Amino acid sequence: MDKRIQARPFLKWAGGKTQLLAELTARLPQQIKESGVIKTYVEPFVGGGAFFFHLHNEYNIENAYLIDINRELMVGYQVVKQTPEALITQLGQLETDFLALVGEERSRFYYRIRELYNRQMEQFDYQSFNQEWIVRASFLIFLNKTCYNGLFRQNQKGEFNVPCGCYKNPTICDADNIRAVSRALQRVSLICADFLSSSPYIDRHTFVYFDPPYRPLTRTASFTSYSKDSFTDADQIRLAEYFRELNARGALLLLSNSDPKVSNPDDNFFDELYQGFNIERVLAKRNINSDGSGRGEITELIIRNY
């Protein structure tokens, strides 16, 4: 694979793993550290893909499957993979038009694009790639780079509803990174589906990294609302059962999640679900929820079957 420019996430995504990369990398399977080779890599909750891009830059990944249930995110990945130059042209135009404006005009431009993006959804063909995908991906990246806090958030109808960030000089079209990401994705299968769809690709030669939506630390916390499909405790249980099934298959499994003990020392939810596996608590910086209660250093869970 071409490694001239190191690929980085092309979107800022809730739960991005940049903060935890060193902790995760230190816990890679020994044989991967020694050989530098990952035969098959599967990431069933890929989000922004920080860990995948990091691994791509440092290791030789022979096969990879990146999965996420968010269809807007996967439209973005497909377009970056298949038509990076057309995307760069489209996004570059949005950038030029936006940066030429000042003050209120910028904010009006932002809300116009947001409106177009949400209306486009009504008749969008998510099944087969066409020219509209390029426009939609350019809107997605534009909104992600100019919205408040740079996150992707949808309401129950699936509409993007983040207000304008009104930053002075946002980088909207990072052409070099789009090309680098596109190269990194050339031999990667991108799948828009529930995490269980990863099953056919996993055997004893597979390394799987799970980064599911965090379990909210408090009842009011809204960490899991990055998409209209929320991830409940029943889903966490479904995932833990899947983890046990893949363990029996002999795959190497790494998983991260929030630590319920941060808010309630008696909460053993994950300790019980993953009993018998290697459960560690590591320090992480968190600043994702708007009321500030999740900021600062707290522990997160890293769970492995090796």
Residue 201 binding ligand SAM, by CB under 6 A: no
Count the neighbouring beta carbons within 10 Å of the beta carbon of residue 117: 20
* Alpha-carbon separation of residue 83 from 75, 90, 189, 191 (angstroms): 11, 11, 15, 17
Of 45 and 269, CB closest to ligand SAM:
45
Residue 215 binding ligand SAM, by CB under 6 A: no
Largest Cα–Cα distance in the chain? 59
Q: Which of 110, 133, 139, 195 forms a contact with ligand SAM (CB under 6 A)?
A: 195
Of the listed pieces 13-21, 105-113, 170-178, 258-266, which binds ligand SAM according to CB under 6 A? 13-21
Q: How many residues bind ligand SAM (CB under 6 A)?
A: 24
State the minimum distance, in angstroms, from the CB of residue 109 to ligand SAM. Answer: 27
> Pseudo-torsion of CA 98, 227, 259, 251, nearest 10°?
-110
Residue 16 binding ligand SAM, by CB under 6 A: yes
Residue 231 binding ligand SAM, by CB under 6 A: yes
Residue 76 binding ligand SAM, by CB under 6 A: no
CB 251 within 8 A of CB 202: yes
User: Both tokens of residue 2?
Assistant: 């071409």
Q: Which of 69, 74, 188, 221 forms a contact with ligand SAM (CB under 6 A)?
A: 69
Residue 213 binding ligand SAM, by CB under 6 A: yes
CB 253 within 8 A of CB 246: yes
Q: Which of 10, 24, 42, 44 forms a contact with ligand SAM (CB under 6 A)?
A: 44
Contacts for 47 with CB less than 8 Å, ≥ 6 apart: 13, 14, 15, 16, 17, 68, 73, 211, 226
| Letter string b/e over residues 247-285, b meaning 16 or more CB atoms within 10 A of that residue's CB | eeeebbbbbbbbbbbbbeeeeebbeebbeebebeebebe
Residue 216 binding ligand SAM, by CB under 6 A: no
DSSP character for 126? S
Q: Which of 41, 117, 207, 226 forms a contact with ligand SAM (CB under 6 A)?
A: 226
Q: Which of 41, 48, 173, 180 forms a contact with ligand SAM (CB under 6 A)?
A: 48
CA–CA dist 220, 289 (Å, integer): 10
Q: Which of 47, 216, 260, 294 forms a contact with ligand SAM (CB under 6 A)?
A: 47
Of 98 and 214, CB closest to ligand SAM:
214
State the minimum distance, in angstroms, from the CB of residue 255 to ligand SAM. Answer: 11
State the minimum distance, in angstroms, from the CB of residue 134 to ligand SAM. Answer: 22
| No. of helices (H) and no. of strands (E), the chain | 10, 7
Q: Which residues bind ligand SAM (CB under 6 A)?
A: 13, 15-17, 44-45, 47-48, 50-51, 67-70, 73, 194-195, 211-213, 226-227, 229, 231
